[in-house]
Structure 1
Amino acid sequence: MALREQTAVTIIRPSRGWAALDLRDLWLYRELVYFLTWRDLKVRYKQTLLGAAWAILQPFLTMVVFTIFFGNFAKVSSEGLPYPVFSYTALLPWGLFAKALNDASRSLVGNSHMLTKIYFPRLILPLASVLSGVVDFGIAFLFLLGMMAYYGIYPTWGILILPVLLLLALVTALGVGLWLSALNVLYRDVGYALPFLTQLWMFVSPIIYSINTVPEQWRLLYALNPMTGVVQGFRWALLGSQTEQLGLILAISSGMALFILISGLFYFRRMERLFADRV
């Protein structure tokens, strides 16, 4: 009697409790991450007149407003640097973070049709949303280099750590985005509160002002905001801006970013079984 051919069967069950992260699926579905990232890039500038120029216009126009009101009228300290370059250097990583956070937080609700029809690691949706902003950052970064050359400012050797600082901004955005995207499925109030949260976060980060204006006894507490280390690290690497205890500030900001990411991963996995029913 011939032996029947055995077929492997995969049974998909919802995770229970604080499930293991099981990040192997992200590698198995890496092509889907690439596809969703590319889709977001194409949709973003579809049927726009200026196209990718918006990647430069958004931080540039914000920099102009900041320069007029905070640089010229309020005379905010810029550490002896031209205020346009001082503010634009901070707006680059901030713009990447803010966009990644906004897209990641809305990724599950915005792709509800996918969640209810097919299986794939749900973590891919916020991850792809975060990665799509890197292209805009690269375009705006080239404009910053032109501004620096215009003002006679040249990068220091610290530019070598920019990829690490960029990764820190993405890790922070993904970590917070995981929390908010899962909460947004359960409570749509998150979508309404997100613009206010992002605006508030910008003002408690050293975007408009220098970290040196923060009282010294509060700076290490201030560094618990991961974007503090990112922004001040960018200014140090590109403009040579000097800050006391910058290494310690970066270490605290990095540790906080990792804590947010790991806790966000576990919370996201815990709530994942509810997404298809609630979205």
Structure 2
Amino acid sequence: MTRPGQARGLASILPHRYLLTLLVRKELRVRYQASFLGLAWSYVKPGVQFAVFYFVMGTFLGQARSLPPFAVFLFSGIVVVNLFSEILGNTTRAVVQNAPLVKKIYMPRQLFPVSSVLVALVHFAPQLVILVIGAVASGWRPDVVGVAAAVAGTVIVIALALGLGLLFGAINVAYRDIENIVDLILMVAVWFSPVLYPTSRVTGSFGGWSWLEQVYFANPLTVAVELFHRAFWWGAADPAMRDAELVNALALRGMIALVIALALVFIGDRVFTRMSRTFAQEL
């Protein structure tokens, strides 16, 4: 029998699903309290981001001509990076932002970062709907491999961001400047993953530094973006634009990325569980 109050990691969430639901509702209510647009911000923010990137990268730098339909290519990457950014940013701050609850009552501390993941998925859903509509309008039709790629990409992003969020969130309780480090990571995430450019431009561009190229393609976020490109852009793109060799390598890269992401969840959960014993005192 588990001793009362003993931390058991993410597994401790299962008996507290009702509390998790309450935390998700609270976070959504607080976030949009006194907000004119409310949940519509889930559409506005990615919409503005898409418009800026499309105008700069698509029009000025000519990506719209070299990667048709560039709108689907671009938005496929944006929804992935936005999901990663929201989960990682919010899970890192989850414990600190819920300090009054942490100090007053005992509950599994993992409830706070996991609730942030669910809130991010609430915002991810309308963006995914827009992506599907845009892809269909561009001539895309779903296929089994594409659906599997979309599911795999989503799982990789959630696991990667949650694992890092648990790790950084635990450390952030003691050292608040971790939030600044995470903000830097999120700032460059969109540039160090193939959201604005095809990975074909990365291949060989490192010159003799082939190990840098391997590191780039080992990045789970890079793989997740490419999986979404396979899921939504591939079916609408001109056959001449499709990199069959790259797509054939996605299955192996996807499995490696999933293993890395799940390993980070395990490591992050262990660190979070160990450090959670002193959260109340630190806060």
For residues 52-63 of structure 1, the aligned pairs below 5 Å read: 52-63=39-50
Paired letter, 1:278: E
CA distance in 2, matches of 1:10, 1:260: 27
- Is 1:277 the counterpart of 2:281? The answer is yes
Match in the other structure for 1:233: 227
> How many Å apart are 1:104 and its aligned residue?
0.4
> Aligned partners of 1:219, 1:62: CA distance in 2, in Å?
27
Change (3 A) 1:23 1:71: closer
Q: Kindly indicate which of the two structures has a greater share of residues assigned to helix.
A: 2
The reply to whether residue 183 of structure 1 matches residue 171 of structure 2 is yes
Q: Which residue of 2 aligns with 1:116?
A: 103
CA distance in 2, matches of 1:209, 1:110: 36
1:215 and 2:219 are equivalent in the alignment: no
Q: 1:210: Cα distance to partner? A: 1.3
For residues 273 and 106 of structure 1, the distance between their equivalents in structure 2, rounded to whole angstroms, comes to 17
Report how far residue 277 of structure 1 moved: 0.7
Deviations 1:55-85 (A, max 9, x none): 1121121111111111221234886322222
The residue correspondences of 1:241-252 to structure 2 (distance < 5 A) are: 242=243, 243-244=246-247, 245-252=249-256
Q: CA deviation at 1:131?
A: 1.2
1:226 to partner: Cα distance: 1.1
Structure 2 stretches lacking a partner, 5+ long: 205-209, 235-241
Supply the distance in 1 between the matched residues of 2:108 and 2:152 (Cα, whole angstroms).
26
CA distance in 1: counterparts of 2:181 and 2:50, whole angstroms: 25
8 Å CA contact 1:37, 1:131 repeated in 2? yes
1:47 aligns with 2:51: no
- 1:258 aligns with 262
Shift of 1:10: 5.8
Confirm or deny: 8 A CA contact 2:159 2:262 kept in the other structure.
yes
Instruction: Using the TM superposition, give the Cα deviation of residue 194 of structure 1 relative to its aligned residue in structure 2, in angstroms.
Output: 2.3
Q: 1:112 is matched by which residue type in structure 2?
A: A
Structure 1: distance between partners of 2:86 and 2:278? 26
1:181 partner letter: G
Report percent identity of matched pairs: 28
Q: What secondary structure does 2:190 align onto?
A: helix
Q: Which runs of 4+ in 1 moved over 6 A?
A: none
State the number of aligned residues: 266
Q: Which amino acid aligns with 2:265?
A: L
RMSD of aligned residue pairs (Cα, Å) = 2.3
- Identify the range of structure 1 (48-57 vs 86-95) with the bigger mean alpha-carbon deviation: 48-57
Between 263-272 and 137-146, report the one with greater CA deviation: 137-146
Question: Which digits, 9 at most, give the CA deviation of each residue in 1:39-61, with x for residues without a partner?
Answer: 22222223222222211121121
What's the CA shift for 1:146?
A: 2.3
CA contact (8 A) 1:78 1:209 kept: no
1:156 aligns with one of 117, 138, 143: 143
- Quickly say closer, same or farther: Cα 1:197–1:80, change in 2 above 3 A: closer
1:237 to partner: Cα distance = 1.1
Give the TM-score, by structure 1 length: 0.87
**8 A Cα contact 1:63 1:88, kept in partner:** yes
SS in 2 for 1:163: helix
* Structure 1 match to 2:128: 141
Aligned pair partner of 1:194 in 160, 182, 192: 182
Q: Whole-Å Cα distance in 1 between the matches of residues 112 and 80 of structure 2?
A: 21
The aligned amino acid for 2:197 is Y
Q: Deviations over 1:149-171 (max 9, x none)?
A: 33333333334322332122111
Query: For 1:173-211, what per-residue CA distance to the aligned partner results, in whole angstroms no more than 9, with x for missing partners?
Result: 110000111111011111223221211222111111112
Structure 1 unaligned segments of length 5 or more: list them.
1-7, 16-20
TM-score by length of 2: 0.86
CA distance in 2, matches of 1:105, 1:248: 30
Deviation, structure 1 residue 221: 2.5
Contact 2:69–2:233 (Cα < 8 Å) also in 1? no
